[in-house]
A and B are shown apart, each in its own frame.
Chain A
Amino acid sequence: MDYIIVLILQVLYSVASLALVCAGLAVVFGMMRVINLAHGEFIMLGGFTTVLSANAGVPLMIAILVIAPLAVGIAGYLIERLVVRHLYGRMVDTMLATWGLSLLLVGLATMVFGNQVAGVAAPFGSVTIGAYGVSLYDVFVIGITIAVLVASYFVLAHTNLGLIARGAMQNPEMASSLGASPARIYSVTFTAGAALSGLAGGILAPLSGVVPTMGAAFVAKAFITVITGGASILTGTITASGILGGISTLTTFAINPVIGDVALLLTAIILLRFLPYGITGRFFRGAN
């Protein structure tokens, strides 16, 4: 019985962390059709911001929930201004430029921080369920992911900003002729996406530690999940991380983590063979 509870918690946790890692990417891809290959490096920046500010004496929760998203949001704003803005509508070029950005950020981080793991201890300790210990921080990750998803849903569905954003996503020309400036919407969206990635980096920093090259570990999983999810930001992210995260955790439990990753990829490729526009391209159309 306790084994099943732990297993369920573990599945929930990996689905939640997958959704968290994907959220920033899903916002940018879903709204702007921009594939941001520097996504993993945004997470890395968030992680470093958290570790550095926590080591400088800032309370860990403030470092994770405030400073990391803020710092990476600002970085995202500048990057949108300098690079991404000039390439809208050229999907492949954006992809390549953000890949260059990713290499540049990894290189700069290596020069500044060196190629070693920096980290902070995970807070909250753990509880025991039957014979197993469960880290309370894992439960915190599940909770914060739900909070982020609910907040995103609220912003998209119930605020003026969300209305304009959804309008610009469906029909940029129409939104623009009704007076909403696409350039500003894109700028806000990219900044928000970057801030979400920064938050994800901050939350993951106590778990995995931070290295300049850590982005690579997330980027593949995040992309495949967002693409499998399809056009709808929230529904797509939730369903895709649910399916892929669940399958990958169960195979991890049954065999090992590497096979878990392979299972995730194979499931995604097979799903995309039959649903080329992602899960939400076929089901739940028109959802947020």
Chain B
Amino acid sequence: MMLKKTACEMLTVLVIGLIAVFVFPNYVAFYTVISSTIYVSLAILALSLALVWGYGGILCFGQAAFFGLAGYTYAVGAFNFEVTAYAAVIAVIVPVIFSAVLGYFMFYGRLNDVYLGVITLTVTLILFKLANSTAGDIYTIGNARLGGFNGMPGTPLLANPFGNGEPLSPHALFVLATVLLLLSYFGCRWLLSTRFGRVMVAIRENETRAELLGYDSRRYKLIFFCVGAGIAGISGMLFANAVFVSPTMFSLNYTAQILIWVIVGGLGTLMGPVIGCIVLQVITAYLGKTGLIDPSAALGLILIVFVLLVPKGLLPLLTELPDRIRQRKKLLSAEPAASDKGEQQ
């Protein structure tokens, strides 16, 4: 049952992905392609938290830190290197290294999930402050001025390293972002199907039991945390190309939004947060345009309502609906004893 559902989901993702790559950009306005690139890059960020929190049980409020670090690394690299693709690769490596150091202190200190959340949140806010304080000529790395609050506009865009050095067109960037989202998604699925992924889920379910069976939960969590940081790094690198790098990448606003995408979409699923991200991005963009209600007030209200009333999120709610109806029908038609045999989701 579970397997069939996963296969079904993977197939749907593949079909939607192929449509997004080959059909979508040819039929919509230029502006829509650009904003879709932003949504897709943020969807990768949502995916990273979906993996780390939903499957690893690591309550990380600091995905925005890795996102922002990757953005800044890319921008600094792109100003300094001839080939911007090198900058893109380094942009994914730097957050992984940072997460390894941070994770060592947190997991080997055996902090519980709530403390973990607070520390990752604090790290993000400190990075926000640091990035904001880099105005002026002293804060220059090679040819790159960090620019304080204004960020780093005019960062050279990613170019095909095997081509003529021409930067990618918005269309190509969208395709690249979508392909990276698909690769990240299937990568996560693959990781979760390996022995390593299964042990990680076991640790999420019951850490003590997993430890008693001989698995070092600290090491597993640390590695998983780094994988999540790497995926967030891909997202940050794309975002730097789609928009530009500024301290807001580290802001409380993004930190909160990532969480809301995951909660709304459904914790413990991979697709849910991605859908949640795109839907909520469209809604907040609309609210920002019309000025009907402050977007942050709307997001806050959505978060409260979901935590109180729909704690499982939308995707599990929708996918369980047919099962529940079927079960209820079975209950109504068959003898009461049969209900115990019903599959537990």
Contact = CB atoms under 8 A, between A and B. Distances in A.
Partners in one complex: yes
Contacts of B32: none
A273 B109 CA distance: 4
A261 B265 CA distance: 35
A258 B148 CA distance: 12
Interface stretch (A43-51, A87-95, A166-174): A87-95
Contacts of B108: 273
Contacts of B117: 35, 92, 95
Given A93-B311, A273-B109, A107 B298 contact: yes
Interface in A91-143: 91-93, 95-97, 99-108, 110-111
Nearest to B108: A273
Interface size class of B (residues with CB under 8 A): 35 or more
A282 B106 CA distance: 18
Given A100-B301, A100-B302, A269 B263 contact: no
A223 B111 CA distance: 14
Interface in A29-51: 35
A8 interface: no
B118 interface: yes
Nearest to A111: B294
B113 interface: yes
Given A83-B308, A262-B130, A100 B303 contact: yes
Nearest to A223: B118
A111 B297 contact: yes
A272 interface: yes
A227 to B, nearest CB: 6
A100 B304 contact: yes
B238 interface: no
A35 B112 CA distance: 13
Contacts of B308: 83, 86-87, 97
A92 B296 contact: no
B59 interface: yes
Interface stretch (B68-76, B119-127, B152-160, B226-234): B119-127
A103 B298 CA distance: 8
Nearest to B121: A220
Interface in B76-129: 102, 105-106, 108-111, 113-115, 117-119, 121-123, 125-126, 129
B191 interface: no
Most chain-A CB neighbours within 10 Å: which of B121, B133, B252, B293? B252
B272 to A, nearest CB: 16
Contacts of B121: 220, 223
B296 A216 contact: no
Interface residues on A, range: 35 or more
A104 B300 contact: yes
B118 A87 contact: no
B201 interface: no
A108 B304 CA distance: 15
Contacts of B294: 107-108, 110-111
B304 A101 contact: yes
Contact of A269 (B113, B119, B256, B259): B119
Given A100-B302, A227-B115, A273 B123 contact: no
4 smallest beta-carbon distances between A and B, as pairs: A107-B297, A103-B300, A100-B303, A104-B300
Interface of B: 59, 102, 105-106, 108-111, 113-115, 117-119, 121-123, 125-126, 129-130, 133, 252, 256, 259-260, 263, 293-304, 307-308, 311
Given A100-B301, A104-B304, 14 more contacts: A92-B117, A96-B307, A97-B307, A100-B303, A103-B299, A106-B297, A107-B293, A108-B294, A221-B122, A223-B118, A223-B122, A270-B105, A276-B110, A276-B111
